[in-house]
Amino acid sequence: MRCRSRYSLVLFGILAASTIVTSQPAAASELAYDGFSPSFPVVGNGGTGFSAAWAGSSGYFTPLASSLCYARLPVSPGSISASSASPVTGTFASRNLSQPLGTDNSTVYLSFLVQPRGPLSTGVYEFFGLSLSGSLNTLFIGKPGMDATEQYVLETYGGAGQVPSGSPVVAEHTALLVVKAQFLPGNDVFTLYINPTPGRPEPSSGVVKSDLDLGLVSSLSVGGVVATSQFTIDEIRIGTTYADVVPAAANPFSNPADCAGEGF
């Protein structure tokens, strides 16, 4: 069995979001949640399951009063959006978890909403998403920037071991990204589901990445680099079951007019 440090390098990922559908209920096995209250980044300390506020270039994120809409997924008010005028600069923020993830032979689920705002540029190093920062490596989940891939992927942060999902990144469309993380002695196993239906059982299959050992995960990060558009991320959930991170609301939307962008 390998030894896992309780500290991890803080790298980055991405986030931004919008609108309200229903208040976020507490789940018995939910480990962390952040729906980005409208006060972000003035406070940046909302949600549960974290030991500190967001840090890094969180001041460059724009807080939105609305939340990203996704059919039947409960969301809370607020989200964050980021943009960059240069393909070589970006906006990133990280946050420490109250308790690290990654004990051998444990399983954790993660979900978040993401939406590219405006046209996607081509031929530039443009990416956005969320990262899990471990003591040994970092996992990136989102739109990659190493090539012209316009689909959501799993990859080792920096572009190695990229596993395409086959699901395209579409401007002005909200995507629900869900990752099942199985922490093992040696390489871990990560399964990515794109746009599952809230309230239904876990999908029988997804795309799998199994060439990465994260170690203990003590923080997550959001962010990215865009050249001509911006991105929004919302509703980060971490739990011990699939139902924790893909819950179902009673109504598809509370008021679509309040949405920063509809998923479909």
Mean pLDDT over 33-60 rounds to 82
Q: Is the pLDDT of residue 224 over 90?
A: no
More confident residue, 139 or 16: 139
Mean pLDDT over 35-48 rounds to 81
Nearest in space to 49 (alpha carbons), one of 27, 66, 33: 33
pLDDT band for 95, please (50, 70, 90 cuts).
very high
Mark 174-205 as b/e (b = at least 16 C-beta within 10 Å).
Answer: bbbbbbbbebbeeebebbbbbbbebeeebeee
CA distance 187 to 209: 10
What is residue 150's predicted lDDT score, i.e. its pLDDT?
Answer: 85
What is residue 69's predicted lDDT score, i.e. its pLDDT?
Answer: 84
What is residue 133's predicted lDDT score, i.e. its pLDDT?
Answer: 97
More confident residue, 14 or 206: 206
The mean pLDDT of the chain is 81
What is residue 5's predicted lDDT score, i.e. its pLDDT?
Answer: 36
What is residue 249's predicted lDDT score, i.e. its pLDDT?
Answer: 83
CA distance 113 to 121: 21
Q: Is the pLDDT of residue 230 over 80?
A: yes
Q: Is the pLDDT of residue 57 over 80?
A: no
What is residue 232's predicted lDDT score, i.e. its pLDDT?
Answer: 93
Select the highest-mean-pLDDT range: 39-43, 172-176, 250-254: 172-176
pTM of the model: 0.84
What is residue 145's predicted lDDT score, i.e. its pLDDT?
Answer: 82
CATH number given to 30-258: 2.60.120.200
What is residue 39's predicted lDDT score, i.e. its pLDDT?
Answer: 73
Tokens of 140: 């990136």
pLDDT band for 171, please (50, 70, 90 cuts).
confident
Q: How many residues does the chain have?
A: 264
Could you count the other beta carbons within 10 Å of the beta carbon of residue 122? 10
What is residue 149's predicted lDDT score, i.e. its pLDDT?
Answer: 64
% of the chain with per-residue pLDDT over 90:
53
Mean pLDDT over 207-229 rounds to 91
What is residue 263's predicted lDDT score, i.e. its pLDDT?
Answer: 42
CA distance 216 to 237: 18
What confidence tens digit (pLDDT) does each residue in 188-216 have? Answer: 999 999 999 999 999 999 999 999 999 99
